[in-house]
Structure 1
Amino acid sequence: MITVRDATEQDAAALMEIYNHAVLHTTAIWNEACVDVPNRITWLRDRQKAGFPVLVASRGDGTVVGYASFGPWRAFEGYRHTVEHSVYVHPAYQRQGIGHILLEALIAVARTKALHVMVAAIEAENTPSIVLHKKLGFEQTGVMKEVGTKFGRWLDLTFMTLALNADQPLG
């Protein structure tokens, strides 16, 4: 049984482990430096202070197996109704629907905050992530060629968007 809840500082070690695995072994994160527990605590506090969610998925025994969050799409006021999100699942628990559960929960939070669009920026060869986003209604809106690098190669970035509250008046 997987449950989704708000992250706490006690989850920082698990967040660090999941994040660092992605840094070291995947192109899901285009950073190359690992982080420590104090870094994840600061990141969590900053997200929460700014009003952004950090959700964790945990097993029945409390083991954190994934996390998701969103934050500003861009720093200009005109983008205040748009957010960019991230979802990461521990490698031992991938392909078990946990990313789907987390992303559904994150979308629900975004809708309650009256946000308008959620953006996904996905490494173009990350087919499982692209498929997941399509299943949840995201549309591919573009691909930027060779805008990043990791593991000695150029990476393309696929953008996908989801309209969250299409009937909501601008306010």
Structure 2
Amino acid sequence: MSTSQQILTIRFSEMKDAAQLMELDELVWDKYTAPEPLHWTSRDNYLLHCPPGSQLVAVSGEEVCGYVGFREPTGLESNSHVYELSIAIHPSHQRNGLGYRLLQAVKEMASLEDKTKLRLRVLSSNPGAIAFYKACGFHEEGRLVREFFVDGRYVDDIQMSYFL
């Protein structure tokens, strides 16, 4: 049964999700999707950077199928209208609308919190993600050319945004 046919709940992350979220990060963030693979050194280290409530998670039963993380990028009052996002969908749940649903949920939440801008970063070597973000209404706002050297080649760091 595909994810779109299952009952999915989108909720804030909880302590009990940490192990699955760490596994998801190890699975999703590799040389094609990130400047370096993401490996958390411990559960405590993960929770320090991604505390409960800092992500919206999509769950089917007890299985975490994906998440969208959000945080204020600088902690400055003058920048508090912005959320920086990160999104990861388990490969077995990709391409069925789950990412779109998560981004819609974070847009609604951010709007209720008086945020006016969402931003994210994506590597130029990840055309599928770029197309997905554009389909969700994000626009390229900036590009750091040849910012990373990954797998023997330079890639750009593309900054994308969505205004609420």
Are the counterparts in 1 of residues 12 and 55 from structure 2 also a CA contact under 8 Å? yes
Q: Could you tell me which of 29, 37, 40 is aligned with 2:34?
A: 29
Give deviations 1:90-133, integer Å, cap 9, x for gaps: 12222222111111111111111101111121111322222222
Q: Distance in 2 between matches of 1:17 and 1:161?
A: 27
- Residue type at the aligned position of 2:153: R
Q: Distance in 2 between matches of 1:144 and 1:44?
A: 26
2:63 is equivalent to residue 58 of structure 1: no
Q: Distance in 2 between matches of 1:128 and 1:33?
A: 20
Corresponding residue for 2:4? none
How many residues end up aligned between the 2 structures? 157
- Residue type at the aligned position of 2:55: V
Are the counterparts in 1 of residues 25 and 38 from structure 2 also a CA contact under 8 Å? no
Identity in percent: 26
Structure 2 residue ranges without an equivalent (≥5): 1-6
2:22 is equivalent to residue 16 of structure 1: yes
Q: Distance in 1 between matches of 2:33 and 2:72?
A: 18
- In structure 2, the CA distance between the partners of 1:44 and 1:75, relative to structure 1 (3 Å rule), is closer
* Structural mapping, 1:55-94, within 5 Å: 55-59=56-60, 61-94=61-94
Pairwise CA RMSD of aligned residues?
Answer: 2.0
Structure 1 residue ranges without an equivalent (≥5): 165-171
Q: Distance in 2 between matches of 1:66 and 1:125?
A: 22
Corresponding residue for 1:156? 156
- In structure 2, the CA distance between the partners of 1:154 and 1:76, relative to structure 1 (3 Å rule), is farther
Query: Which moved further from structure 2: 155-164 or 4-13?
Result: 155-164
Q: TM-score, normalised by structure 2?
A: 0.84
Corresponding residue for 1:95? 95
Q: Could you tell me which of 3, 6, 17 is aligned with 2:12?
A: 6
Q: Distance in 2 between matches of 1:98 and 1:144?
A: 29
